Amino acid sequence: MAGLIMGIDLGDDYSQVSCWNPGTETAEALTVTEDESSCLISSVICKKKTEDVWYVGEEAYRRALLNEGVMVDKLIKLARRDGSATIEGVKYTASELLYRFVNELMKMTRERFGGDGVESLVFTVQSLEGSFADLLVEIAGRCGVPRGCVHIMTHAETFLFYVLSQQRDVWANACCMFDLTEEGLHYYEMRVIRGRRPQIAEAWHEKQEDGFDLSVLDTESGRHMGDLILVSCARRLLARKVFSSVFLTGRGFVTTDWAPDFLTYVCQKRKVFAGQHVFASGAACAAADQLRETSAYPFTFLCEGRIESTVSVNARWGGRSEKVVLAEAGTNWYEARSSVELIPDGTDTLEFQIQPASSPRTDKVRVNLDEFPRRPNKTTRIEVIVAFNAENSMTVRVRDLGFGELFMSSGKTIRKDFLLS
């Protein structure tokens, strides 16, 4: 039996899971209600009293209400700040609790979809920091998923995967999405820039100040106020732009009948889709694409989580000048790590070309090598390592490797950090 191809959307209030179906070539959401009407899994965990038994989602709430266990919520926020929680006198780290939560999601997924292990897994989160991404990779490993099968993406990335997996008429012009959750209202917009090879698919995201607490939807006056707020946002954000489609997601849009004026406005000459599995299903599409020899998405992705510029150095190989690419625009920054060995020829400066994908200009940054020992020309071998801490934050490390038996390595490493515009 083939392994699972999974996308997991981790949020502070709820999480979701989707699996790729190779037969239908579609992403299928993991539903958690008997009538299969909901795919929202509350991001909470509950330990059964006196036993090493754990529950997640609505079952965790139920057990806690029955006083059968102790519940912990806000697992993502707790893990990001490296917190902890004490249950029955035992201190559990946030990483341990998040591991148990993800492990339970894995069990639920295997029960629903079967599968022999996990072949490809993409976690998607609102925003990405290196330490949290490292934690998710570690958690996946504890769940039996090898490092090479795990990828971490932002919501903006998986939004692009989801939209571009739809029929072309859905994204022929710009697309946008309103994500209404307990954390507020988030707006996403994407478009495909044609006339380039490869074409550029770019997306941007912004949390709206006009968001509101979903509890206001419990009253008629609150629903009316929410409708007015959304109409105001839509008029401001959609004005004078041509959109092929509008997506509505988040717990606030589980039903849309409370916002009639907003729906009337966004439905004017646009396709409108409401669903709760955009990010998880986009992650599943991305997980499937990781297994293909040739991507089904022939675009350069520019968005949160992706590098906006190609980084290269000029070198000579076999008597010819070569451009050595160390990082390609559109690459996920967390995975953009490369190295190359070079021998400086008549220079003590290493120069990098920075080529933005959306601009014809080329910028240059330099690393001075004068900290290394002075040697005759072409008798110093160096290793150049390029990595990223964010979309526009590049770290370069240059190591002195010496030159065989003639010159031993000094052991020195030069590090420089650059902000790429």
Question: Are the C-beta atoms of 302 and 157 separated by less than 8 Å?
Answer: no
Residue 406 has pLDDT above 80, yes or no: yes
Query: What is the topology classification, in CATH, of domain 309-419?
Result: Substrate Binding Domain Of DNAk; Chain A, domain 1 (2.60.34)
Percentage with pLDDT > 70 across the chain: 99
Query: At 359, is the pLDDT very low, low, confident or very high (cuts 50, 70, 90)?
Result: confident
pLDDT at 2: 79
pLDDT at 188: 98
Residue 1 has pLDDT above 80, yes or no: no
Percentage with pLDDT > 90 across the chain: 89
Whole-number Å distance between alpha carbons of 201 and 179: 20
Between 93-97, 334-338, 357-361, 408-412, the lowest mean confidence (pLDDT) is in 357-361
pLDDT at 61: 94
Question: Are the C-beta atoms of 256 and 274 separated by less than 8 Å?
Answer: yes
Q: Average model confidence (pLDDT) for the chain?
A: 94
pLDDT at 90: 94
Digit-coded pLDDT (tens) for 210-252: 888 899 999 999 999 999 999 999 999 999 999 999 999 999 9
Asked if domains 158-280 and 309-419 share a fold, the reply is no
Q: CA angle 23-140-85, nearest 5°? A: 130
Q: Is 212 exposed, middle or buried (0-12, 13-18, 19+ CB in 10 A)?
A: middle
What are phi and psi for residue 155, nearest 5 degrees? -60, -35
> In the predicted model, what is the mean pLDDT of residues 28-51?
87
pLDDT at 116: 83
pLDDT at 324: 95
Instruction: Determine how many CB atoms are found less than 10 A away from the CB of residue 57.
Output: 21
Residue 11 has pLDDT above 90, yes or no: yes
Residue 421 has pLDDT above 80, yes or no: no
Between strands 118-125 and 150-154, the pairing is parallel
Please give the CATH number for the structural domain made up of 158-280: 3.30.420
Closest to 402 measured CA to CA, from 394, 393, 411: 411
- Domain positions in the chain are 4-153, 158-280, 309-419
Whole-number Å distance between alpha carbons of 47 and 38: 24
Per DSSP, the residues of 315-364 read EEETTEEEEEEEE-TTSBGGG--EEEEE---S-SEEEEEEEETT-S--EE
Whole-number Å distance between alpha carbons of 247 and 158: 14
Whole-number Å distance between alpha carbons of 335 and 37: 36
Helix ranges (H only) for 36-129 are 57-65, 75-80, 94-113
pLDDT at 36: 59
> In the predicted model, what is the mean pLDDT of residues 53-61?
94
Whole-number Å distance between alpha carbons of 33 and 39: 8
Digit-coded pLDDT (tens) for 139-181: 999 999 999 999 999 999 999 999 999 999 999 999 999 999 9
Query: At 85, is the pLDDT very low, low, confident or very high (cuts 50, 70, 90)?
Result: very high
Closest to 6 measured CA to CA, from 136, 179, 96, 98: 136
Residue 34 has pLDDT above 80, yes or no: no
Question: Does domain 4-153 match CATH 3.30.10.20?
Answer: no
Question: Are the C-beta atoms of 293 and 287 separated by less than 8 Å?
Answer: no
Question: Are the C-beta atoms of 129 and 15 separated by less than 8 Å?
Answer: no
pLDDT at 287: 98
End-to-end distance of the chain based on CA atoms, in angstroms?
47
Q: What is the pTM of this model?
A: 0.94
Residue 33 has pLDDT above 90, yes or no: no
Residue of 332 and 420 predicted with greater confidence: 332
Residue 31 has pLDDT above 80, yes or no: yes
The half-sphere exposure of 84 on its side-chain side, counting CA atoms within 13 A, is: 7
Query: At 355, is the pLDDT very low, low, confident or very high (cuts 50, 70, 90)?
Result: very high
Digit-coded pLDDT (tens) for 262-321: 999 999 989 999 999 999 999 999 999 999 999 999 999 999 999 999 999 999 887 789
Closest to 118 measured CA to CA, from 247, 263, 7: 7
Query: At 35, is the pLDDT very low, low, confident or very high (cuts 50, 70, 90)?
Result: low
Digit-coded pLDDT (tens) for 102-147: 999 999 999 999 888 999 999 999 999 999 999 999 999 999 999 9
pLDDT at 195: 81
Helix ranges (H only) for 56-93 are 57-65, 75-80
Whole-number Å distance between alpha carbons of 291 and 199: 22
